[in-house]
């Protein structure tokens, strides 16, 4: 029988059991893969020495995952990630990961 490990962040109470999922302990967004988390990964330390995260980039303006974009070859800017409902709470996934939606995947 497989062993299922459950992790819980004590600060926000978010739990998950996916081995590839990543949770930002600063902004508490939750990502489906290490690659998606790395797109958001922690930024440079704040002037007081405390850590920052991708949600704090761009001169202190919020950069939540829904604001992260990529530019296609034709110059069109499209979302990098999208949020899906998950039994444990919102989960940020890449467009190619989520086949549950009929929306067109930005190429």
Q: What would the two tokens of residue 92 be?
A: 């940020």
Asked if residue 76 is part of any domain, the answer here is yes
Asked if residue 103 is part of any domain, the answer here is no
Return the pLDDT at 27: 81
Return the pLDDT at 103: 44
Q: DSSP E strands: which ranges in 5-72? A: 7-8, 15-16, 22-23, 30-31, 69-71
Asked if residue 1 is part of any domain, the answer here is no
Return the pLDDT at 55: 62
pLDDT in tens, the chain (107 residues): 566 678 888 888 888 887 788 888 878 888 888 888 877 766 667 778 776 776 655 444 445 677 777 788 888 888 888 888 888 888 888 877 765 543 444 44
CB-CB contact of 76 with 84 (8 Å): no
CB-CB contact of 54 with 63 (8 Å): yes
Q: What would the two tokens of residue 59 be?
A: 């001169």
- Domains: count for the chain: 1
> Which range of residues forms the domain containing residue 27?
7-94
Return the pLDDT at 2: 63
């Amino acid at each position: 029988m497989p062993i299922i490990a459950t992790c819980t962040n004590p600060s926000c109470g978010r739990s998950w059991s996916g081995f590839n999922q990543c949770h930002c302990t600063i902004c508490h967004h939750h990502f489906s893969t290490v690659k998606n988390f790395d797109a958001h990964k922690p930024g440079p330390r704040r002037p007081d020495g405390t850590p920052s995260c991708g949600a704090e980039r761009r001169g202190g303006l919020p950069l939540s995952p829904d604001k992260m974009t990529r530019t296609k070859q034709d110059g069109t800017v499209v979302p990098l990630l999208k949020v899906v409902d998950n039994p444990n709470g919102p989960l940020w996934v890449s467009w190619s990961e989520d086949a549950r939606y009929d929306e067109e995947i930005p190429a």
